[in-house]
Copies of this chain bind each other. A is one copy, B any other.
Amino acid sequence: MDKLYFACDYQEGAHPQVLQRLTTYNLQSSPGYGTDEHCEAARQKIREACGKPDAAVHFLVGGTQTNATVIDALLRPWQGVVAADTGHIAVHEAGAIEAGGHKVLTLPHRGGKLAAEDLQQYLAAYWQDASHEHMVMPAMVYISQPTEFGTLYSLAELEALREVCEQYHLPLYADGARLAYALACPQNDVSLRDLARLCDVFYIGGTKCGALFGEAVVVPEPELLPGFFTLMKQHGALLAKGFLLGLQFDALFSGGLYGEIGRHAQACADRLRGVLDELGYRQCYDSPTNQVFVVLPNEILDSLGQEVDFTSWEPADAAHTVVRFATSWATTPEAIEGLHAILRRYAPAGGRP
């Protein structure tokens, strides 16, 4: 049997409808840098989906690039960004934020999330510290929805964070690299409109959610980010053929495709979680979205890895490793059932066959 691919949600090209759109317009001539009609159409659809008719919508190529550009736009040189210590910008972006001159100020995560009370305490302590002017000023908050652990901020949690942010005049920024998979999750109660109401900036992920590549930054109050076009160019984030991004997001936001992509991956992940439970595997992190985390004994990893491509997340203990399986728009029922068959063979003693 062919190897199965569950390592991440960016292992294939684009959802066929997205690719079709690119193909249809491949020979049409468009102006550059996102000034074309496809970008404008996509912007309009995103504004409507967010309930923010005046929002600015900017299209960038990838997530690290987007985070670095937005954060650079929001901060002044003496300011930093607060994030959970598991936040993507704090760990896996190769220092892109620091390369822009800004410190990532980390707080211990709670299930991958930043808790409003932790943020509140940190900010209160900062402003009470007599030497706070010698320290980087916390001046914005970064969260991801879903988080790096696949977990979700509830609406109540997000509103609590927003309240602290308002109290301290900090813009709130949400990284939505996998936003489709949050929106489609039954446990989720945070809509696009909620994000647009509660965040000062957020982005709608394309790369991991059905596009070939691309992320859509939404700025409900556009005057918050003056000079953003030039800053995108400076960050190498201004695609010459911006229309490629417009075409893709126009497709993703046509006919409910973005929602459908999320629901497909969700169904696959739920099935996989059921399989793991059935077979007695120990899951962890309580991710309800398209990332599924399971604790495996180290001695099976090599052998399992011959049959399935997965991600080794982190050591669980000396003998076990946390492993991630991710589903996406591209996951097939056959792949899930193939994985089921393989996992049955590796099932822990006591796993129900």
Q: Given that A233-B64, A240-B213 are contacting pairs, would A29 and B16 also be in contact in the complex, using a CB cutoff of 8 Å?
A: no
CA distance A326 to B213 in the complex (A): 27
B12 touches A19 (CB 8 A): no
A171 an interface residue at 8 Å Cβ cutoff?
A: no
Q: Given that A13-B27, A79-B227, A95-B102 are contacting pairs, would A236 and B237 also be in contact in the complex, using a CB cutoff of 8 Å?
A: yes
**Contact count band on A:** 35 or more
A101 an interface residue at 8 Å Cβ cutoff?
A: yes
A333 an interface residue at 8 Å Cβ cutoff?
A: no
CA distance A311 to B66 in the complex (A): 29
CA distance A330 to B28 in the complex (A): 10
CA distance A64 to B101 in the complex (A): 16
CA distance A231 to B336 in the complex (A): 36
B230 touches A133 (CB 8 A): yes
B227 touches A241 (CB 8 A): no
Chain B residues lying within 8 Å of A79, measured Cβ to Cβ, are 227
Q: Given that A11-B32, A93-B234 are contacting pairs, would A312 and B130 also be in contact in the complex, using a CB cutoff of 8 Å?
A: yes
A31 an interface residue at 8 Å Cβ cutoff?
A: yes
A254 an interface residue at 8 Å Cβ cutoff?
A: no
Q: Given that A93-B134, A94-B233 are contacting pairs, would A14 and B32 also be in contact in the complex, using a CB cutoff of 8 Å?
A: no
B236 touches A96 (CB 8 A): yes
CA distance A23 to B16 in the complex (A): 9
CA distance A267 to B222 in the complex (A): 45
Chain B residues lying within 8 Å of A312, measured Cβ to Cβ, are 130
A285 an interface residue at 8 Å Cβ cutoff?
A: no
A31 touches B309 (CB 8 A): yes
B64 touches A72 (CB 8 A): no
* The stretch of A2-10, A154-162, A180-188, A344-352 that contacts the partner chain: A2-10
A212 an interface residue at 8 Å Cβ cutoff?
A: yes
Chain B residues lying within 8 Å of A109, measured Cβ to Cβ, are none
Partner of A236, one of B10, B64, B230: B64
Chain B residues lying within 8 Å of A130, measured Cβ to Cβ, are 311-312
A207 touches B94 (CB 8 A): no
B12 touches A235 (CB 8 A): no
A80 an interface residue at 8 Å Cβ cutoff?
A: yes
A234 touches B32 (CB 8 A): no
CA distance A133 to B91 in the complex (A): 11
Q: Which residue of B lies closest to A30 (CB)?
A: B11
Chain B residues lying within 8 Å of A28, measured Cβ to Cβ, are 12-13
6 contacts between A and B (CB under 8 A): A62-B240, A64-B236, A91-B135, A94-B135, A134-B230, A136-B230
